[in-house]
Amino acid sequence: MTKYLKHQSTRENTLRSLFLVLCTSYLVLLFSCASDDHHYAPVIDHRDSLPVLQSVGVSTLISDSGIIRYRIISEDWFIYDRKQPTYWSFEKGLYIEKFDEQYHVDAFINCDTAYYFDQLHLWELRGRVLVKNLKGETFRTSLLYWNQDQHRIYSPAYMRIQGIDQELDGYNFSSNEQMTEYRIHSSSGAFPVDDDETPHPDEQTVAEHNDTTPSVATLPTGNKAPAANGPSIGIPPRRPNHTPRSSESTQAVKPPVNPRRIIPRK
């Protein structure tokens, strides 16, 4: 009987402890859920950071409206379709050739790193960017954008342009897709100047603005008064019966002669 009572008491204590544990857990969960504001970040899938396409040793042609326009050569090519915005990545450099309607290369681009945002039709070129157009001009910069919708190439970074007979550098570069018509601000450079293109003054204009004042050689040298249409310069008028001064005479002045004869004493 005593063993039975002890067993029943132990069982009741165990049930009571279990009940207290369950009640405590329930209260903890209740208060924790009540104070939760549900500030959760969106679930990040491993697929979001992976490219849908990865190619090595790429050499491909790209068409626009059924016409081949570009040739792309790169060591690697990654396409991220889950990024916002989606883009292509060329981390190990890119070489692009642009063709005209007759499939002639009218420009080429070379850079260290490139990104193409396919939804925006925008190229972003970074690193050592080199562009050459049909005129043989080379463009060097560290950052270049190419908007295919606007048919415009621009760069806010420093740009250096080297042509056949000129050099130019500056900032805020803007150009058409062929890189033949461009603008650059805060620029400086060197330009050759041909002697035949040096501007010369018009002879008729020079004659109209010549000085009409007569020179000293054209003035009268006698006692006559100078002409009324010009001032007297350099020669003072002579007074009548006036012996010229030493500064006016060209001969030396002789000493006066004493008419009396002086006899020495014996």
What stretch of H or E contains 183? strand 182-190
CA distances from 127 to 30, 84, 124, 141 (A): 57, 23, 10, 8
Domains of the chain in start order, with CATH, are 48-189 (2.60.450.10)
One-letter identity of residue 256:
P
Give the pLDDT of the chain (266 residues) as one tens digit per residue. Answer: 544 444 556 666 666 666 666 666 666 665 555 455 566 666 666 667 788 888 899 898 888 778 888 898 999 999 999 888 999 999 999 998 888 878 888 788 999 999 999 999 999 999 999 999 888 899 999 999 999 899 999 999 999 999 888 899 999 999 998 888 999 998 877 666 665 555 555 666 656 656 555 554 554 555 444 444 444 444 444 444 555 554 444 444 454 555 455 455 54
Q: What is the DSSP string of 241-256?
A: T-PPPTTT-SSPPPPP
How many residues does the structure list for the chain? Answer: 266
**Region class of 125: left (phi > 0), else alpha (psi between -120 and 50), else beta:** beta
**pLDDT value at residue 84:** 87
Q: Facing residues of 54 across strands?
A: 78
User: Which of 127, 179, 129, 125 lies closest to 153 in space, CA to CA?
Assistant: 179
Handedness of CA 248, 254, 255, 261 (dihedral sign): negative
Backbone angles phi, psi at 198, to 5 degrees: -70, 125
Helices (H), the chain: 2-34, 203-208
Q: Is the dihedral of CA 117, 118, 121, 127 positive or negative?
A: positive
Strand pairing class (152-155; 122-133): unpaired
pTM: 0.54
pLDDT of amino acid 163 = 87
The C-alpha angle 165, 170, 172, rounded to 5 degrees, equals: 125
